[in-house]
Structure 1
């Protein structure tokens, strides 16, 4: 019996410490330990995904958890997540703290596969010799498969599959709805960024993707050529566009847009169809472009097509937060945090 118990213990030990091989988006094989307890996301969209699957494995975050684009974390995010150290990352104009990352001993770095960041990320990770696994979320329709893959990496498949299932359902519902809106009847929408509202995104850009997912006809036609985005436009150009709806990122601009005589010349302002993006606990559309755009695109669709959108956006938000953040939203919170 002693020999049998010893043998079982040895088998259990070997099994617990066995390596596993994954293939990332580029087909590169990545060997990872069975027991994943120390994981780092290269950029906020990845870190947020890892958080909702299993925040206990995260070793750090990319920027302060509370900032101008992400708010009310104390209500919706775990105490542990709110206290994680800031290690930087490969996103926007930011740089990672390589020494701090190495000192934190991650078993793997999950990286964001996007052409505008790949070269810099690869060079730095090669320098520190830590295994990396690349996933692509530039296209939101990839979120379900990436959730499932990360669930396998973290050995949290049940949780990740539930998140993937809801993401898939929400995306398919949106796709079905948008197909019902004839192209000639798509709402003209301007994405206003910056405190003056005169920065925006190309219609072909991962930054503006949730507006396109929602069936919006983005008025600024171009192709994104930098990871930052935020194309400069003149008010005269916006006046020519004369959008039917304006989606706003900056609270500063939102406070002035309805009283500014210049902006009052626009159809969207005259009709009170200017909407501020919710940012609790993460931005619903962009900055960073995370899985939140799944619910954000539904919210935008409800604003672009208030008489056509077939769902209750309040119930969509409730269900999303119940699963992703394990928070039951009260009626007053829907109004306070999301103006719903």
Structure 2
């Protein structure tokens, strides 16, 4: 065979091989889409999912988590956004429908859920046992369900990385998880320098009368109080793990906390003028504080990644002369990193509920 003929034969083979490779690649791609990939969720369940472009979170804390990782993948909210929250939420996500979820006495709007056709539903792992019909209903709709664990603040780094893997946003998720890990490390070092006998006592006031509180072993609030160097005065039985308990006025006077924190605006508006609170040390010293809640609550209900900023706020609030950070600067950095929002010092003061200066 001549050299020219050999070259022609090789070209013919090349023309056959290239299309074959392309066809094989397409088949592999289709196979992946059909069969999906197996994910072991944070409850230890193995679930097969396809490509994820639309995510429905069944609980507020999970919705906030998804929003921080990639707002564009979120298909709906569990509860309506407050006007104040909307100022810090991207415009497309302000217009998302309220689908609801399984929490309190609520169930989701199934018509909305069917209409948006999410590729995956993310649920709070602790609810799997107490809401068995949730899995049944979502399975009937062919919506894969993955559980996320976000109980303690220390759960969040792993939770962010898990969700980042599911959503193919690992770089972003690692950045957010790394921030929270660093925060926990710094706050552990800070609180460890405060002797137990000198730790400031804290009471979390719930309700218009302030006479309901969360137990010292309920993790949403308590692990943040501990990390901030405080001490929760309200002690409960282990059986009360997830229940806010009512106390009487005498018990609150007996506790006589150094600081009171609340997210109830009615209680806060009356605490310095009502005679029922005047004997309390925190009231006499004007150390009753509203917990920031922009755009989501910073300490307790509903819990969110904002606790990573809330623990810094609480440490600054309890120990303004000992706290080593700059709370305004940290607030600006946090809003930029987690929410993609630039704020100045004046706005940070407003969010922190601080006066200028």
1:26-175 mapped onto 2 (5 Å cutoff): 26-33=43-50, 35-66=51-82, 72-114=84-126, 117-129=127-139, 130-175=143-188
Work out which of the residue numbers 217, 220, 223 in structure 1 matches 2:231. Answer: 217
Structure 2 distance, partners of 1:6, 1:285, is 58
Alpha-carbon spacing, 1:30–1:263, altered in 2? closer, same or farther (3 Å): same
Larger radius of gyration: 2
Asked if 2 retains the 8 angstrom alpha-carbon contact of 1:204 and 1:224, the reply is: yes
Structure 1 residue 2: deviation in Å?
8.3
Asked if 2 retains the 8 angstrom alpha-carbon contact of 1:93 and 1:228, the reply is: no
Alpha-carbon spacing, 1:252–1:228, altered in 2? closer, same or farther (3 Å): farther
Structure 1 residue 122: deviation in Å?
3.4
Structure 1 distance, partners of 2:23, 2:87, is 43
Alpha-carbon spacing, 1:322–1:36, altered in 2? closer, same or farther (3 Å): same
Decide which moves more: 120-129 or 224-233: 224-233
Structure 1 residue 9: deviation in Å?
6.6
Task: Answer yes or no: is 1:336 the counterpart of 2:350.
Answer: yes
1:249 aligned partner? 263
Asked if 2 retains the 8 angstrom alpha-carbon contact of 1:205 and 1:223, the reply is: no
Structure 1 residue 162: deviation in Å?
1.0
- Calculate the aligned-residue CA RMSD, in Å: 2.1
Structure 1 distance, partners of 2:316, 2:75, is 37
For the residue of structure 2 that corresponds to 1:188, the secondary structure is strand
For the residue of structure 1 that corresponds to 2:121, the secondary structure is strand
Asked if 1 retains the 8 angstrom alpha-carbon contact of 2:138 and 2:145, the reply is: no
Structure 1 distance, partners of 2:129, 2:153, is 22
Alpha-carbon spacing, 1:102–1:153, altered in 2? closer, same or farther (3 Å): same
2:324 aligned partner? 310
Structure 1: stretches of 5+ with no match in the other structure = none
1:23 aligned partner? 40
Structure 2 distance, partners of 1:184, 1:13, is 67
Structure 1 distance, partners of 2:62, 2:238, is 21
Structure 2: stretches of 5+ with no match in the other structure = 1-14
Query: How many residue pairs end up in the alignment?
Result: 333
Alpha-carbon spacing, 1:147–1:12, altered in 2? closer, same or farther (3 Å): farther
Deviations 1:164-212 (A, max 9, x none): 1111111111111111112222111000111221111000103323223
For the residue of structure 1 that corresponds to 2:202, the secondary structure is strand
Alpha-carbon spacing, 1:171–1:15, altered in 2? closer, same or farther (3 Å): farther
Asked if 1 retains the 8 angstrom alpha-carbon contact of 2:191 and 2:226, the reply is: no
Normalized per residue, which structure has more helix? 2
Structure 1 residue 99: deviation in Å?
4.4
Asked if 2 retains the 8 angstrom alpha-carbon contact of 1:98 and 1:128, the reply is: no
Asked if 1 retains the 8 angstrom alpha-carbon contact of 2:65 and 2:305, the reply is: yes
* TM-score w.r.t. length of structure 1: 0.91
* TM-score w.r.t. length of structure 2: 0.87
For the residue of structure 2 that corresponds to 1:119, the secondary structure is coil
For the residue of structure 1 that corresponds to 2:147, the secondary structure is strand
Asked if 2 retains the 8 angstrom alpha-carbon contact of 1:92 and 1:227, the reply is: no
